[in-house]
Amino acid sequence: MVVIAWLLVPTAVKRFSRLTFFEVQAPLELAPSYVRDLQDYWSLRTRSQNDLIEAGRDLARLTASYELRVQENGELRAEVARLESLLSLPTFNSYRPEPARVVRRDFNGWWQRLVIRKGRNYNLTVGAPVIFSGGVVGRIAEVGAYTAVVEMITSPGMRLAASVEGDQRPISYQGGLNAAFAAPRGVVEFVPLDLFAAPNSPQKLVTSGLGGVFPPGLIIGQMVRLEPSTDGLFKSGEVQLDPRLSELAEVTVLVPLAPEIPPVGTPRP
Amino acid sequence: MADTVAERGGGLFEAYKGYNPRVIFFYPVVLLLLAVLAGGLAYRQLLRTEIYAEREKVQNQRRILVPGPRGNIYDREGQLLVGNRPRFAVVLYLDELRSEFRREYLKIRGAYRESGDKDLPNATQMEQIARFTVVDRYLRVINKALGRTGEVDAPALTRHFRSQLLLPFTLLDDLEPAEYARLLEQLPVTSPLQVYTSSTRSYPFGAAAAHTLGSVKIDDIDVAEDFPGADLKTFKMKGTTGRDGLEAQYDSVLQGETGGTIYRVDPAGYRIEPPLARHVPVQGKNITTSLDIDLQLAAEARLLENEMAGTAIALDVHTGEVLTLANVPSYDLNETSPRISTAKFQEIEEQGGWLNRAIQGAYAPGSSFKILTALAGMRSGWVNPDSEVDCNGYYRVGNRLFPCHDGHAHGKIKLAEAIAKSCNVFFYKHGIETTPEVIATEARRFGFDQRTGVELPNETRRMLVPDPEWKKATGRGPWQPGDTANFSIGQGFLDVTPMQMATFTASFARGQTRTTPTLIYQPNRKPQRTEAIGLPAAQYDALVLGMEECVSMPGGTAYRTLTQMASMRIPGLRIAGKTGTAQKQTPAGIINFAWFICFAPVENPQIAIAVMVEGDTPGEETGGGRYAVPVAQAILKTWWQKQQRATGTPVATSAPAAVPTARD
């Protein structure tokens, strides 16, 4: 009956439904997210006054230390700007950090995605890098009115220009086929032959900054295995990613202040 | 009858009622025909399945072959001389754009129809326009991303679409690492635009040993006979084959193993993923040459200082391994990879840079040949260490006066001093006594009439050891005593290659007659053993003494360069050498070829060298002592420093005031 009813619906309505499905669905995902936050709030309300006072003090100390770091960062930023000016270096892309709560995690063998609780309402853009305290999370794949979908670096559809820390040469990083509960892994290709990595001597893989999307130096993971390819031109290998990627509750979107060009694979007619 | 007509006339269709026994006759026929059809069907569908399966496979499967990277070439110490570098290109997989092509085609057709244009292109033309438009759209996006200005080559696109649809169409080639990284990050994994990696030859030392290593040319790839899918329609990426040098000589070793992928395609020829079979290309085998890149660089640097064409060869005296094979003018091998431009080819051609003078040039060896003349004289009994000649600067042969070296009158002079000072008169006299036949026989004993057999293609056959019989046979008239005089000092009709002079020097240093040079390094290669030189020790020592005094005795032709100049001395190394300055008559005048052959250390010969520098200005003295000796000195100095480092001996940084001679 449902199928028959759907067949009878006018084409315009069906087309509209398809296009707006994500937006229509979004509140259903947002609501449980807000409920979870409320649940957390009430669970905190059950704590004693002493616990709250102690937590308040810890928070004050943390805030003070962050204030200090913010001040240091300001000084460092000014120094970097001075040196860039002296050496006539191009300025790095600037980003606006936008923290966002994770609404839903969508992990399977084909893709690994997060839905976050901010979208066009915070001027998020497709392609914007997403990070957390452990490094790269992924990049924004879709932006809705109030939510956005993040394609994670664990996803096979995610590829970026990486480099080994301290080495400028670009390496291709791509997410692997990750099972739902397995330790997240990725693969590297086009690794120069003079680089070596093994489980007991891993190499830190960071973003190269050459790709124009991710700023340089963000941690991707640890290269734990490298093997020469049969054609003798490069090595390829395996990257161990941060296990916390599968339990993220909050991420930060780096919204480019001067947006780069969008991904180039799909020209518009 | 009337009933029958009535029955028939009542309806639109003619009907037969009743049983007619004549019909029975047709039943077996129909059944037989049906049986034939069923049998044929069964035969084709059940018994000949393999044939149809094969036909279906050939019709619906395509094979794409990619070349395996070539093997690397190393020097004897493991330094990479020739390798492969990745070459990044951005390519478009046309077979993934089928629906886009179709949409664009419909759009173009609609636009033409709306405009009412009388010159409506036909369907094929509109398809081409649609393909170009789509591909150009992709290229413009790439251009914008990389700041480039590439354009679509329309004829190339048409050709590619017709004959190589399954191969990626290259939009931009030879991307910089930053460009490659940019596309890597910005191209979606599933985009028909992708970064494609191939390999091309890379030469870390540029022009070093260019003639020896050789270059490659783009060519079709070879496929092993047992490679699957031989009967399928095949698309081949281009590979490379050796054009010259070691690349050509060992092409079969260096050549990589072709890889490939077999895809199923739809009726229009578009690929269906995933592939049915995949074979990864495998890199070719590596080669370790006997070259020592440090010696090679030293030789080439010093040859370049002369600003004249020339060549230098250094051999391991015992094994014949070629340590250095330098030629100038040369060319940067990186400019030949993946292909050389016509302008660059012409430029090298005009400079004479393609010629490997060491093995392809035949020159008169000049006075460096006097060692062989003396050897022939000794073996025939006409010359001994105490043989003496009174040199007054000229030697009369018939009615003609033959000058001594630089017209100097050396006075009474013995063998060793005659070698050291390169006294022509001594060798005119004893050469004529020895006879040209004996000298020629001795030269042939050392292989001067044959190619050396070094593992390089196109070694010349123009070397010539003349004798009276040859002259008569070639219609040049009877042999004259003057011919013998010229022959004795390495002039006249005699032509040898610098490589031959190097093998002669190595053989002489070893006390034997033949050395086969080799460019392949073997760590434990056995010393060469050939026919002994056939001289008593005293006579051999006299020759060596003369060669050593050439370097160390005041008045020796190499003394000024190798001993008198403090900066050129090599402390602790005893060198035995012989200079030569051959003359050649050209339409523009007489030009010189400067020669120097040597070996060292005298007490235990390890390295033998031959250097030849072509004079380029008629009438200008291009002497071996001035132009060829410094090149050998550069090689010897580098070699000696490496030897001392290897044995832990401190390397002397300042030269002593004088080097004691063998006579001292």
Please give the average per-residue pLDDT across B575-589, as a whole number: 90
Q: Is the pLDDT of residue B199 over 70?
A: yes
CB pairs under 8 A between A and B: 99
Which tokens is B119 given? 């010159």
**Nearest-by-CA chain B residue for A171:** B181
CATH 3.90.1310.10 segments of chain B: 62-287
pLDDT of residue B472: 93
> Are A157 and B188 within 8 A, CB to CB?
yes
pLDDT of residue A230: 64
Of B379, B415, B410, B377, the C-alpha closest to B393 is: B410
Q: How far apart are CA A184 and CA A241, in angstroms?
A: 5
What are the sequence ranges of the domains in chain A?
Answer: 2-45, 159-246
Say which of B142, B181, B188 has its CB closest to residue A210.
Answer: B181
Q: Is the pLDDT of residue A148 over 70?
A: yes
Please give the average per-residue pLDDT across B365-385, as a whole number: 94
Q: Are B114 and B227 in contact (CB under 8 A)?
A: no
Q: How far apart are CA A39 and CA A46, in angstroms?
A: 11
Any residues with CB less than 8 A from the CB of B163 and at least 6 apart, and which? none
pLDDT of residue B86: 81
pLDDT of residue A26: 76
Residue at token pair 């992708």: B194
pLDDT of residue B197: 80
Class assignment of domain B293-331+356-647? alpha beta
- Summarised one tens digit per residue, pLDDT across range B317-348 is 999 999 999 999 999 999 998 888 899 999 99
Chain B interface, best mutation among A163, A264, A266, A268, by max B CB count within 10 A: A264
What ipTM describes this predicted complex?
Answer: 0.74
pLDDT of residue B311: 96
Residue B39: which pLDDT band, with cuts at 50, 70 and 90?
Answer: very high
Q: Is the pLDDT of residue B275 over 70?
A: yes
Tell me the percentage of chain B whose pLDDT exceeds 90. Answer: 57
Q: Are A106 and A112 in contact (CB under 8 A)?
A: yes
Q: Is the pLDDT of residue B627 over 50?
A: yes
- Summarised one tens digit per residue, pLDDT across range B131-145 is 999 999 999 989 888
Please give the average per-residue pLDDT across B598-605, as a whole number: 95
Strands (E), B5-144: 61-66, 73-74, 80-92
Strands (E), B419-475: none
Residue B659: which pLDDT band, with cuts at 50, 70 and 90?
Answer: very low
In the 8-state DSSP scheme, what is residue B221? P
> Are B144 and A264 within 8 A, CB to CB?
yes
Helix axes B123-146, B154-163, angle to 10 degrees: 110
Q: How far apart are CA B197 and CA B174, in angstroms?
A: 10
- Summarised one tens digit per residue, pLDDT across range B3-38 is 444 445 455 566 666 667 777 888 888 999 999 999
In the 8-state DSSP scheme, what is residue B289? B
> Are A161 and B182 within 8 A, CB to CB?
yes
- Summarised one tens digit per residue, pLDDT across range A170-194 is 899 998 777 767 788 898 988 888 8
Residue bearing the bigger pLDDT, B663 or B403: B403
Question: Which residues on B lie below 8 Å from A214 (Cβ)?
Answer: 185
Rounded mean pLDDT of chain B? 88
B186 touches chain A (CB under 8 A): yes
- Summarised one tens digit per residue, pLDDT across range B486-542 is 999 999 999 999 999 999 999 999 999 999 999 999 999 999 999 999 999 999 999
pLDDT of residue A31: 86
Computed from CA positions of residues B446, B448, B449, B451, in that sequence, does the dihedral angle turn out positive or negative?
Answer: positive
Of A196, A212, A237, the C-alpha closest to A160 is: A212
pLDDT of residue A220: 95
Shortest Cα distance from B324 to chain A (angstroms)?
A: 28
Q: How far apart are CA B363 and CA B491, in angstroms?
A: 9
The torsion angle over the Cα atoms of residues B523, B527, B528 and B530, rounded to 10 degrees, is: -170
**Nearest-by-CA chain B residue for A212:** B182
> Which B residues in the span 81-100 are in contact with A, Cβ-Cβ below 8 Å?
84, 86
Of B593, B594, B592, B599, the C-alpha closest to B577 is: B599
Give the Cα-Cα-Cα angle B236, B238, B242 (nearest 5 degrees).
135
- Summarised one tens digit per residue, pLDDT across range B380-408 is 999 999 999 999 989 998 888 898 877 77
Question: Which residues on B lie below 8 Å from A230 (Cβ)?
Answer: 280-283
Q: How far apart are CA B611 and CA B595, in angstroms?
A: 6
Class assignment of domain A159-246? mainly beta
On the 0-12 / 13-18 / 19+ scale of CB atoms within 10 A, A15 is exposed
pLDDT of residue A91: 62
Please give the average per-residue pLDDT across B252-277, as a whole number: 78
Q: Is the peptide bond before A90 cis (omega within 30 degrees of 0)?
A: no
Residue A37: which pLDDT band, with cuts at 50, 70 and 90?
Answer: confident
Shortest Cα distance from A19 to chain B (angstroms)?
A: 21
Q: Is the pLDDT of residue B270 over 80?
A: no
Q: Is the pLDDT of residue A5 over 60?
A: yes
Residue B625: which pLDDT band, with cuts at 50, 70 and 90?
Answer: confident
pLDDT of residue B435: 94
Shortest Cα distance from A264 to chain B (angstroms)?
A: 6
Residue bearing the bigger pLDDT, A34 or B300: B300
pLDDT of residue B663: 30
pLDDT of residue B18: 65
A247 HSE (CA, 13 A, CB side): 6
- Summarised one tens digit per residue, pLDDT across range B72-85 is 999 999 999 999 88
From chain A, which residues contact B within 8 Å (Cβ)?
156-161, 169-170, 172, 174, 190, 208, 210-214, 229-234, 261, 263-267, 269
Q: Are B246 and B287 in contact (CB under 8 A)?
A: yes
Residue at token pair 């409320």: A38
- Summarised one tens digit per residue, pLDDT across range A75-123 is 998 898 888 788 776 666 678 889 999 988 887 766 788 999 999 999 9
pLDDT of residue A173: 93
Any residues with CB less than 8 A from the CB of A218 and at least 6 apart, and which? A129, A131, A135, A136, A206, A207
Any residues with CB less than 8 A from the CB of B649 and at least 6 apart, and which? B643
HEC states along B474-526? CCCCCCCHHHHHHHHCCCCCCEECHHHHHHHHHHHHHCECCCCCECECCCCCC
pLDDT of residue B653: 47
Q: Is the pLDDT of residue B664 over 50?
A: no
Domain at B62-287, CATH from 3.90.1310.10, 3.20.20.70, 3.80.30.20, 3.30.420.40: 3.90.1310.10
pLDDT of residue B651: 56
pLDDT of residue B399: 86
HEC states along chain A? CHHHHHHHCCHHHHHHHHHHHHHHHHHHHHHHHHHHHHHHHHHHHCCCHHHHHHHHHHHHHHHHHHHHHHHHHHHHHHHHHHHHHHCCCCCCCCEEEEEEEEEEEEECCCCEEEEECCCHHHCCCCCCEEEECCEEEEEEEEECCCCEEEEECCCCCCEEEEEECCCCCCEEEEECCCCCCCCCEEEEEEECCCCCCECCECEEEEECCCCCCCCCCCEEEEEEEEEECCCCCCEEEEEECCHHHHHCCEEEEEEECCCCCCCCCCCCC
Question: Which residues on B lie below 8 Å from A265 (Cβ)?
Answer: 186-188, 190-193
Please give the average per-residue pLDDT across B429-435, as a whole number: 94
Of B550, B544, B594, B561, the C-alpha closest to B365 is: B594
Question: Which residues on B lie below 8 Å from A229 (Cβ)?
Answer: 280
For the ranges A251-260, B52-61, B116-125, B437-446, the maximum mean pLDDT occurs at B437-446
N residues, chain B: 664
Shortest Cα distance from A109 to chain B (angstroms)?
A: 16
What's the Cα-to-Cα distance from A32 to each of A26, A46, A103, B287, rounded to whole Å?
11, 21, 8, 67
Shortest Cα distance from B107 to chain A (angstroms)?
A: 11
